Amino acid sequence: MITFEEIVKNEEVQELVRAVEQQLEVLGYTEHSIRHMNLVAKRASMILEELEYPSERIELARIAGYLHDIGNAVNRVDHAHTGAILAYEILKDMGMEIKQRTEIMMAIGNHDENTGTAVSDISAALILADKSDVHRDRVVNKNLSNFDIHDRVNYAVTNAELKIDKKERKIALALDIDTQICPVLDYFEIFLARTMMSKYAAEQLKSTFELMINDVKLL
């Protein structure tokens, strides 16, 4: 099986990551580079590991998490779909077997809330990991006076933890939000679709999803 470490070292993947960083920086989007990729890979694999899925599924979730945003190298629009195709071809060239690379393609192609939904355990883990990355470290724009709502909401989040309760099969996203920067309602204005997507993803894993903001359970 192709390993996560081999994916990270792949020159084609590295060049696509550079293109993603360049393009989204110009567009002024939140950070989608190595930090986000590694965090999503770590959390996606952690979810399946904590819920005691087989090691192969855990590794595939880790790889899907790392590759999920490479479609941004083509265009932000439909990045999930282009990213899925790019990942499939890269993994094919690397010699990954068809069933495994198809699983990763499906997960990446369904991670965007506008067009996708959880279609497998790997897909669900990727969605939950991706949507949990809300934090001020993702804000590229450092001028607070020019913040749009996405910048403001992300910058207001001072801590974000994804917690897994294996016994109760609960997946909880706990956020600390500085309400002097952004009211909690603003979070739901832009992240309601992502929150509901996370809820359905947890159900795919036979689990429940909880959202905690400033120690208050909202879902």
| pLDDT for the residue 132 | 96
Confidence of residue 137 (pLDDT cuts 50, 70, 90): confident
Average pLDDT, integer, range 120-135: 96
pLDDT digits (tens, 9 = 90+) for 65-107: 999 999 999 999 999 999 999 999 999 999 999 999 999 999 9
Residue 142 has pLDDT above 80, yes or no: no
- Amino acid 26: pLDDT: 87
What domains appear along the chain, each with residue ranges and CATH number?
A: 4-217 (1.10.3210.10)
The Cα–Cα gap between 48 and 205 comes to 9
Residue 31 has pLDDT above 80, yes or no: no
Whole-number pLDDT of residue 29: 81
Confidence at 161, pLDDT banded by 50, 70, 90: very high
> What's residue 57's pLDDT?
98
